[in-house]
């Protein structure tokens, strides 16, 4: 009887430890995704725009989110290719509310969009903000948090 009890206890212990060891590795969300580029990870494959805001008549800022990775990033899109010497500045920024961690991107010459690196968004919220200066008027906008 003592032998059966010892074996049962051993089996339960090993099973429990193996469950927790494998269980912790199955989560996709990880702080290791913070600072990485979405298109260089699996995160971009299921991304969706959860919030957006019109910056001006020619540009929009989007808060992009990956449900599988639980990461967020910002994307700015303009209606025309950017020419910094003629049309000023276009920039997007992602901000994680819990600690203020942020990443930004700037439209380069010839680009009409750019996206930031991503932040881990597990159990916290983030927002995107964008600025656009068309050489005449400077505008900015911010999305709701998600």
How does residue 137 score in pLDDT terms, banded at 50, 70 and 90?
confident
Rounded mean pLDDT of 121-144? 93
CATH number of the domain where residue 114 is located: 2.60.40
Determine, yes or no, domain membership for 105: yes
Q: Which domain holds residue 107?
A: 28-142
Q: What is the pLDDT of residue 129?
A: 99
Cβ within 8 Å of residue 112, ≥6 positions away: 77, 78, 79, 80, 81, 82
Residue 113 within a domain? yes
User: For residue range 75-123, what is the model confidence (pLDDT) as tens digits?
Assistant: 999 998 877 666 678 999 999 999 999 999 999 988 999 999 999 999 9
Identify whether the C-beta of residue 132 lies closer than 8 Å to the C-beta of residue 114: no
Q: Is residue 2 part of a domain?
A: no
pLDDT digits (tens, 9 = 90+) for 45-80: 999 999 999 999 989 999 999 999 999 999 999 998
Q: How many domains does the chain have?
A: 1
Q: Decide if 136 is inside a domain.
A: yes
For residue 8, is it within any domain? Answer: no
pLDDT at 16 exceeding the cut of 80: no
The span from the CA of 139 to the CA of 120, in Å, is: 28
Q: Cα torsion for 131, 134, 138, 143, to the nearest 10°?
A: -30
Does residue 23 sit within a domain?
no
Is 35 contained in some domain?
A: yes
Assess if residue 85 is contained within a domain: yes
């Amino acid at each position: 009887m003592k032998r059966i009890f010892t074996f049962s206890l051993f089996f339960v212990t090993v099973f429990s430890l193996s469950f927790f060891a494998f269980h912790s590795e199955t989560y996709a969300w990880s702080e290791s995704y913070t600072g990485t580029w979405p298109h260089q990870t699996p995160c971009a494959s299921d991304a969706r725009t959860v919030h957006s805001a019109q910056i001006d008549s020619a540009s929009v800022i989007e808060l992009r989110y990956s449900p599988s990775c639980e990461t967020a990033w910002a994307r700015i899109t303009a209606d025309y290719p950017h020419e910094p010497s003629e049309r000023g500045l276009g920039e997007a920024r992602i901000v994680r509310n819990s600690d203020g961690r942020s990443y930004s991107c700037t439209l380069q010459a010839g680009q009409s969009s750019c996206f930031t690196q991503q932040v881990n968004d597990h159990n916290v919220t983030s927002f995107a903000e964008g600025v656009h200066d068309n050489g005449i008027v400077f505008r900015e906008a911010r999305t709701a948090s998600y």
